[in-house]
Every structure is written in structure tokens, then in C-alpha cells.
Amino acid sequence: QVQLVESGGGLVQAGGSLRLSCAASGRTFNLYNMGWFRQAPGKEREFVATISRSGGTTDYADSVKGRFTISRDNAKNTVYLQMSSLKPEDTAVYYCAARLLGLVTKRQNEYRYWGQGTQVTVSS
């Protein structure tokens, strides 16, 4: 089992940057594929980015490709989401999630463990 705690959210102007962090408990972080998802007000939660256990494979939603970068530090049990060129439509609660073993995936139901979320608000 793993517990996830996100941080780094906040208010930023359009065009700005933020880095989200997700700290995981336990000694087996390197067994988990990690993902970032987001939920905007009135919308369903959607996939943002995912990274494999070793960090060698990543995938992104088309809406964030070229602007967001997912990375991980297995020594620190932490996954990051670097967000640049932020747009008002990026405003959402951002969640990190963990999937034990297997491959990277965009499907939310493949992730068993979820954090509590962190709010990102982008003003125009």
C-alpha cells in the first residue's frame, strides 16, 4: 500500500509556471507507475501525464503536450509535474495516482492509490 500527498498548487497568471510534487510513503515506490490527473469544476476527472517505474517512459494528454513535464525521483519517493505556459483552462484540482507494476496507462481505473489533490488556479 502507498499513501500519496500532493503539494505545490496555487494561483498563477496565464503564461506562468508551477511545479507540483507528489510524495509517496513506503519503500516500494519504484514498483509503481505514476500518473497525474485533473478535475476542473463541473467536469470529469481527466488524464494529464504518466511515467513508468524507471522513469524511462512517459505519456501526456494532447492538451498539455509540450507544456508539462512529468518526472520522478525514486530515491526521494516523489513524482513531479512541471507545468509551463499555463492557461486558464488548466485550472483544476490536480491528483497524483499510483499503479502497482504493469505498464503506464491513461485509464483512471487502473490506478489504485490516489492523493487528496492540490488546487491549481490560472488567472487570465
Mean pLDDT of residues grouped by 10 in the chain (124 residues)? 96 98 93 97 97 97 98 97 98 97 94 97 96
The CA distance from 72 to 23, in Å, is 10
Cell of 112: 489504485
| Confidence (pLDDT) at 27 | 81
Runs of H (alpha helix) within 24-122: none
| Confidence (pLDDT) at 75 | 95
Q: In this structure, are residues 115 and 96 in contact, taking their beta carbons and an 8 Å threshold?
A: yes
| Confidence (pLDDT) at 104 | 93
Q: Is 1 exposed, middle or buried (0-12, 13-18, 19+ CB in 10 A)?
A: exposed
